[in-house]
Amino acid sequence: MRLVIQRVSEAGVTVDGRVVGEIGPGFLVLVGFGADDPADLPRRKVWSQMLDKLVNLRVFPDEAGKLNRSLLDTGGQVLAVSQFTLYADCRKGRRPSFHLAADAALGLQLYTDFVSGLAALLPGRVEQGEFGAEMDVRLVNAGPVTIVLDSGDFKG
């Protein structure tokens, strides 16, 4: 699992001109799953480690301007957008290969579980894109702050 986390003052997703998800201050999270990610990933320790890290990342400024506050502290929202291209393999040629990404069925299952798990930690504060759709994503990256989390970097 890979997450690209962008601190935003606002973000939104449209599909065919229709808004499917929109947030104010918080995180836009691009979410990708690899071909090696198991179907039971949500029951593994690394899953909870990644979700815990996401909601507790201290990248929002406190009163002194120091990055010392998390989503839990600020009441921020999350817009989760599926993004299989996070597993693009660009080592050969000029056209990326996506053989390292999870297939659509597994990707959908894990993405759905990810959004549900996040919503359990942040009730009423999680929006999402539309899996498999051609989406237009707009964001105002605050800072800018962009962080990448990869499940391969965690033990569990």
Backbone angles phi, psi at 139, to 5 degrees: -155, 155
Q: Is 84 a catalytic residue?
A: yes
Q: Is 83 a catalytic residue?
A: yes
- The tokens describing 9, both together, are 């003052």
CB-based contact 23:122 (threshold 8 Å): no
Q: Which of 6, 60, 77, 83 is catalytic?
A: 83
Helix (H, G, I), strand (E, B) or coil at 32: strand
Q: How far is CA 5 from CA 37, 90, 92, 105, in A?
A: 19, 22, 27, 24
- The tokens describing 5, both together, are 């986390």
Q: How far is CA 54 from CA 12, 40, 117, 145, in A?
A: 19, 20, 12, 13
Q: Which of 27, 60, 84, 114 is catalytic?
A: 84
- Residues taking part in catalysis: 83-85
